Amino acid sequence: MEKLAKILVVVLILLVAAVPLLGQQIIAQPETIELRARMPENGGWSQEFIYGLVNVPIKLRMTSDDVVHSFALAQSSLPSVEIFPGKFSETELVFDQPGEYTFYCTRWCGANHWRMRGTIVIEGPASSDQPTSVPPLFLQLGLDLDAPHFARVIPSNRPESARASERTNALPDGLTDGENIWSKSPEALWKDLKADEDLDDQSVWDMVAWGLNQQGSSGWMGQGRELYTQNCLACHSESGRGDGVMVRDLPPMNHDKMGSEATRPPDFSDPAVLLGASPALLEGKIIRGGMGTGMPYWGNIFTSEQIRSLVLYLYSFQMELEERP
Ligand code: HEC
Ligand SMILES: [Cu+2]
């Protein structure tokens, strides 16, 4: 049994090693690559892998075999390119670093739309100034993303960041430490502050909202709203209740079996859901996705800053946050 596993592993490794080689031989140094877009049910992108070299331009000639799609390069500021049936759209890409770059469709072309993703593999020498990446906090903390996480302590009024702003000349320690805020659920942060500060419950909730608000970079709210509307609304819905058009026919979420079966998303309008979840946990879920549940993974699509904006935007279903100037 073990031997079989070993052989399998060897074969798999050989296969993995062979795939880039094969691809390279067939389409090394492409001048122009034709990329056909199709709904995932019809086969998805005609090429899931595109190979290229550092600093050699790749010209993509794209068309659709069914409905309107759109080509976007993940983690980049490149505007997406619409792809129409019967027409060709072109775009040219140049990469100055080797690596794997994700491309994806940004049009809701069907229930499996988010599976329309592919990889551009770039080979060649790395330039020296490549930034080193830090693993996201949920990995550092070893969080179980699928453990139930309902909050028991719920504010009687909506927490409001602006109300706490007046007090911020005397900040408790827990609110000046970004990692502390990012690793604790709002409920846990509230309990910590409540134990240390001689303040009424609502004032402490307002401080929690203020602390979260400080974690966004400038423009986070607009960015979060835009990303949510474009990528999350179809399932999580505008109200955050989790009854978007794509999931209406699915059974409601079962929080005890989170992350295992296809259900509707959790109800973000229920305070117990979000106030019991730390930013690190929500971030982890967005990066990793829901495994078997239909919650897509976004880790290779958005930058870490975009994901932060999304996390904070989710909390705004439960608190009054404000854009900092
Ligand atoms: C295709 C449907 C779908 C789309 C699109 C989708 N989600 Fe989800 N999401 C789900 C489902 C289903 C769950 C519940 C399953 C789970 O938690 O594993 C979920 C769970 C989550 C959770 C976990 C919440 C918790 O309390 O644990 C977060 C956070 C989340 N989604 C954020 C997002 C964001 C942000 C986007 C857009 C960038 C997004 N989702 C897009 C279906 C979707
Ligand atoms: Cu699509």
Residue 156 Cα, ligand 1 centroid: separation in angstroms? 26
- With a pLDDT cut of 70, the percent of the chain lying above it is 87
Q: Mean pLDDT for the chain? A: 86
**Shared fold status for 18-123 and 137-315:** no
Which pLDDT belongs to residue 14? 36
User: Which residues, in sequence order, are bridge partners of residue 73?
Assistant: 103
Q: Would you kindly state where each structural domain of the chain is located, as residue ranges?
A: 18-123, 137-315
Give the residue-averaged pLDDT of 248-259: 78
CA–centroid distance, 105 to ligand 2, in Å, is 5
Ligand 1 is surrounded, with C-beta below 6 A, by 114, 231-232, 234-236, 246-247, 253, 258-259, 263, 265-266, 273, 277, 282, 285-286, 290, 293-296, 298, 310, 314
- The second-level CATH assignment, the architecture, of 18-123 is Sandwich (2.60)
158 pLDDT higher than 60: yes
State CA 299 to chain mean position distance: 5
* pLDDT-based confidence at residue 109 (cuts at 50, 70, 90): confident
Exposure pattern of 294-323 as b/e (b: 16+ CB <10 Å)? bbbebbebbeeebbbbbbbbbbbbbbebee
pLDDT of res. 12 = 37
How do residues 4-19 score in pLDDT, each as one tens digit?
444 444 333 333 444 4
Q: What is the pLDDT of residue 17?
A: 41
Q: What is the CA radius of gyration of the chain?
A: 23
One of 1.10.760.10, 1.20.59.10, 3.90.1150.10, 3.40.50.720 is the CATH number of 137-315, namely 1.10.760.10
Query: What pLDDT score was predicted for residue 325?
Result: 59
Is pLDDT larger for residue 84 or for residue 135?
Answer: 84
Atom of ligand 1 nearest to the CA of 290: 18
Question: For 18-60, what is each residue's pLDDT tens digit?
Answer: 444 444 444 445 579 999 999 999 999 999 999 999 999 999 9
Q: What is residue 259's predicted lDDT score, i.e. its pLDDT?
A: 65
pLDDT tens for 195-249 read: 988 889 999 999 999 999 999 999 999 999 999 999 999 999 999 999 998 888 8
Which atom from ligand 1 is nearest to the alpha carbon of 260? 18
Residue whose Cα lies nearest atom 10 of ligand 1: it is: 295
pLDDT in tens, 292-304: 777 888 998 999 9
Average pLDDT over residues 154-162: 95
pLDDT at 129 exceeding the cut of 80: no
